Amino acid sequence: MRAEGRVAPTGATEDVVLHGTAIVLGDRAVLLRGPSGTGKSDLALRAMAASLGRFSEAAFELVGDDQVIVRRAGERLVVNAHPQLAGLIEVRGLGILTVPHRAEAGLVLVADLVGGGHVERLPDPWPVTDVLGVPVPVMRVAPFEASAPLKLALALTQQPWLSVAN
């Protein structure tokens, strides 16, 4: 994960630029991570297009594609689009296009995009990653599986890492 950060007067990093795509469902965002060409933008497009009314009253919205800025706000994280990329998404075969987007959202989950054989059936305990000193649960998802957008919706609405932690 490529990261650049701004340092606060205390010496602590106050924000960081991360390579990835962030989408939000309701008030919870997920950061899709993976090398170029692994399907981050494609999965975001399919999530935004999917009818997810069974799991949430809200629909997925884009926060940012390719690069996002994450900042710490107390014990929570807030994700924004990189200012030069706000409202833009790469659509392979079509180019860089404008789509509706959310200015910011609370980051609660990281999804690492992997091949289908690398997804653990029952993660216990849930892996976590540290973002600006805040532990964030990490799920693995095969981005081109038909169920991938639904898995993201279920993860964000049910937060299964909380029940495993108890």
Rounded to an integer, what distance in angstroms lies between the CA atom of residue 148 and that of residue 155?
11
> What's the domain count of the chain?
1
Per-residue pLDDT at 165? 53
Rounded CA-CA distance 103/144 in Å is 27
E strand spans, 8-161: 13-19, 21-25, 28-33, 60-64, 67-73, 76-81, 88-91, 95-98, 104-113, 128-131, 134-141
Collapse the DSSP code of 138 into the 3-class scheme (helix H, G, I; strand E, B; otherwise coil) and give the result. Answer: strand
The enclosing domain of 129 has a CATH number of: 3.40.50.300
Q: Label residue 7 by pLDDT band (50, 70, 90).
A: very low
Domain membership of residue 162 (yes or no) is no
In a domain, 38, yes or no: yes
CA 96, 101, 105, 111 dihedral sign is: negative
Q: How far apart, in whole angstroms, are the C-alpha atoms of residue 15 and residue 27?
A: 20
pLDDT confidence of residue 115: 80
What number is the average pLDDT over the span 93-108? 95
**If you average pLDDT over residues 137-142, what whole number do you get?**
92
Q: What is the mean pLDDT of residues 80-97?
A: 95
Q: 50 in a domain, yes or no? A: yes
Average pLDDT of every residue of the chain: 87
Q: Rounded mean pLDDT of 53-70? A: 86
Return the pLDDT at 9. 43
Domain membership of residue 53 (yes or no) is yes
Residue 165 within a domain: no
Tell me if 152 is assigned to some domain: no
pLDDT at 144 exceeding the cut of 70: yes
Domain of 18 in residue numbering reads as: 3-143
In a domain, 148, yes or no: no
Would you say residue 163 lies in a domain?
Answer: no
